[in-house]
Amino acid sequence: MQISFRFISSQLSIYQTRTKPIQTRAREHHRATLSKHTAATVPNMSRAYTLSKFGIALLVMLAFPSLGSASPIRLMKRAGGAVRNDAVEGGACKALMLIHARGTTEMSNMGMGVGIPFAAALEKLTADVGIQGVNDYDASVAGAITGGSKTGAEFMAKTAADVMQKCPKTKVILSGYSQGGQVLHLATDMMSPKVADKITAVVLFGDAKGKTTPVPRIPADKVLSMCNAGDNICENPMLPMITMAHLTYGTGVDEAAAFVKRKAGI
């Protein structure tokens, strides 16, 4: 299979998310950086590459343009304050705590495409919810190719355990988008049986581990894996190709929030 760079560019140009200002700025940033950085990254734009490891890496970099050129701190500031650290910062115990792992090269510790809209959907259901993005996780292309960030997974697993210890009545929800799904799989595999048993629900968006891959230690009835038709990342992760179907999960967050509501009994 061959993939042209022109095709990827065209898919990105029609990528649409909800019209919240923060998401609009993120989309404009992607478009601007695509034209600015792609020529330096890929000198021969007319050339097509097969899906070797190099091709996959290049494809991901094109789909999420060169955000690595800026420091994580600057990227978080650009995201307009879209950093959520409710679990880390402490405070009163909540009825729910969402711990979310963003997709490759997404800005902030939540990501604007899925994490922020999903958090907002949960906050519409109840004000008694804490939101925590996964820290210690650079969401890099290299991490995606090697199966997900282990440091991000360690943060997710430890944070879930810490919340349960501090707030025994809080129901912990895990979610991940794209590479964030890989991180989530690694995290639950690191958990003790006691912690894993207390996870209330898991939501995966475009899971890079594949839509049929079980989440370690978590019963299937606690898991919602959303995989859009035509999203090759979750439909066929052995031959990953990023299409618009992989970039539109922000429109499905209400369904995901409804699943959490049922599982949490709120």
- Catalytic residue positions? 178, 231, 246
Rounded distance, CA 157 to CA 212, Å?
22
Are the C-beta atoms of 114 and 184 separated by less than 8 Å?
no
Burial of 266 by CB count in 10 Å (0-12 exposed, 13-18 middle, 19+ buried)?
Answer: middle
Please give the C-alpha separations between residue 31 and each of 10, 11, 20, 23, 66, in angstroms, as whole numbers.
Answer: 10, 11, 17, 12, 11
- Contacts with 265 (C-beta within 8 Å, 6 or more apart), sequence order: none
Rounded distance, CA 181 to CA 240, Å?
14
Rounded distance, CA 184 to CA 227, Å?
16
Rounded distance, CA 226 to CA 224, Å?
6
Rounded distance, CA 220 to CA 47, Å?
43
**Distance, CA of 65 to chain centre:** 16
Which among 86, 119, 76, 77 has a CA at the least distance from the CA of 205? 119
Strands (E), 53-210: 96-101, 129-133, 171-177, 199-205
What Rg, from alpha-carbon coordinates, does the chain have?
A: 18
- Contacts with 24 (C-beta within 8 Å, 6 or more apart), sequence order: none
